[in-house]
């Protein structure tokens, strides 16, 4: 959360001439309410179900650049599906860097966020590509493009 997945993903998709999909946005379109509302009114379990359904729908369509929510790859079997589906990129940002970003209003941002990041990091590190995302977005995109070219 707050690593820049949407900003980097959108620019990366543009550079690759591919469609861009933000999974949280797709969930909001399918559910008719925002992610914070889903968390507040229906709970995290309902959100995770909606997230699984949206992910399956995206993985079964044409290739795209997909920005997943921070919990998406941590769902059972999700990281394996993502790794098999395409190139995965972990935008690595230190806790110190994240704490300086404006993350107010994010459902899981708060007292337990640092611990949550530490728990999720081993899953994220399974990605094909791990990038330092503390740089400016254009620099991160250039690094992603270079890594993707090496994997081609």
pLDDT band at 89 (very low <50, low <70, confident <90, very high): very high
CB-count exposure of residue 41 (10 Å: 0-12, 13-18, 19+): exposed
Q: Quote the CA–CA distance of 131 and 9 in Å, as a whole number.
A: 13
Q: Are the beta carbons of 129 and 90 closer than 8 angstroms? A: yes
Q: In terms of Cα–Cα distance, which of 4, 76, 80, 70 is closest to 39?
A: 70
Mean pLDDT, rounded, for 38-66: 93
What pLDDT was estimated at residue 128?
A: 97
Q: In terms of Cα–Cα distance, which of 95, 94, 137, 124 is closest to 6?
A: 137
pLDDT band at 71 (very low <50, low <70, confident <90, very high): confident
Work out the number of other CB atoms within 10 angstroms of the CB of residue 56.
11
Q: Quote the CA–CA distance of 84 and 106 in Å, as a whole number.
A: 29
CATH T-level topology, domain 5-151:
Rossmann fold (3.40.50)
């Amino acid at each position: 959360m707050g690593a820049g997945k949407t900003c980097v993903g959108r620019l990366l998709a543009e550079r690759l001439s591919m469609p861009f999909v933000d999974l949280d946005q797709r969930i909001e379109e399918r559910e008719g309410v925002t992610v914070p509302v889903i968390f507040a009114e229906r709970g995290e379990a309902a959100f995770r179900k909606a997230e699984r359904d949206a992910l399956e729908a995206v993985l079964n369509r044409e290739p795209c650049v997909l920005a997943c929510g921070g919990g998406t790859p941590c769902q059972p079997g999700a990281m394996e599906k993502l790794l098999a589906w395409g190139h995965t990129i972990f935008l690595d940002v230190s806790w110190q860097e994240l704490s300086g970003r404006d993350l107010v209003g994010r459902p899981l941002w708060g007292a337990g966020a640092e611990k949550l990041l530490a728990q999720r990091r081993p899953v994220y590190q399974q990605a094909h590509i791990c990038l330092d995302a503390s740089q400016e977005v254009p620099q991160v995109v250039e690094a992603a493009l270079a890594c993707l070219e090496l994997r081609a």
